[in-house]
């Protein structure tokens, strides 16, 4: 039935701030940005008079996220969940060099609960942080073991 995961959607309160984070800091590439409205999007979402800007972005080695900024249906500015919250909790992404990523993000004001940690089997270095909407990100560096 399912052949692949196409993308993960993320509703953002501040599109320009989200682009600075995902594109400029994390290195995602904008593939397509468009303003969407009309009967098809209203029907798909089960809402009336939807106006949304969508930005599809890809990572260097694959994987896509879609930022959605609703002009017509604003919500709370941040997700309030925790790592143990029911439902989707985080997006895990592979980084090439954890130390460089950690420094770049820390220098940009991203807060981490601890420095990067090694997995018990020594296969990866891993850390959690929060993106601009409070979405939890898991950054993982695969180690040569």
The residue count of the chain comes to: 145
Q: How far is 133 from 110, CA to CA, in rounded Å?
A: 12
Q: What is the pLDDT of residue 89?
A: 82
Of 16, 36, 70, the position where a domain reaches its end is 70
12 & 61 share domain: yes
Q: Decide if 67 contacts 90 (C-beta within 8 A).
A: no
* pLDDT tens digit sequence for 32-84: 999 999 999 999 889 999 999 999 999 999 999 999 999 999 888 777 777 77
Does 2 reside within a domain? no
Average pLDDT score over residue span 120-128: 93
- Asked whether residue 3 is domain-assigned, the answer is no
Instruction: Please tell me the predicted confidence (pLDDT) of residue 34.
Output: 95
Are both 98 and 66 inside the same structural domain? no
In this prediction, residue 23 carries a pLDDT of 97
Counted domains in the chain: 2
The pTM (predicted TM-score) of the whole model is 0.87
* Domain assignment present for 81: no
Whole-number pLDDT of residue 145: 61
Residues 96 and 58 placed together within one structural domain of the fold: no
| Nearest by Cα to 60 from 92, 30, 28, 91 | 28
Q: How far is CA 79 from CA 19, 24, 93, 132, 135, in A?
A: 18, 22, 19, 10, 6
Domain carrying residue 19:
8-70
Alpha-carbon span 91 to 70, nearest angstrom: 21
């Amino acid at each position: 039935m399912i052949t692949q995961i196409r993308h993960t959607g993320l509703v953002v309160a501040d599109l320009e701030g989200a682009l600075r984070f995902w594109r400029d800091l994390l290195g995602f590439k904008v593939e397509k940005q468009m303003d969407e409205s009309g009967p098809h999007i209203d029907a798909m979402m089960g809402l009336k008079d939807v106006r949304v800007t969508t930005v599809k972005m890809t990572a260097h080695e694959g994987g896509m996220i879609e930022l959605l900024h609703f002009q017509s249906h604003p919500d709370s500015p941040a997700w309030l969940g925790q790592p143990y919250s029911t439902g989707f909790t985080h997006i895990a992404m592979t980084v090439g060099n954890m130390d460089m990523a950690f420094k770049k993000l820390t220098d940009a004001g991203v807060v981490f609960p601890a420095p990067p940690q090694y997995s018990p089997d020594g296969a990866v270095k891993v850390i959690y942080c929060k993106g601009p909407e409070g979405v939890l990100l898991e950054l993982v560096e695969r180690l040569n073991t």
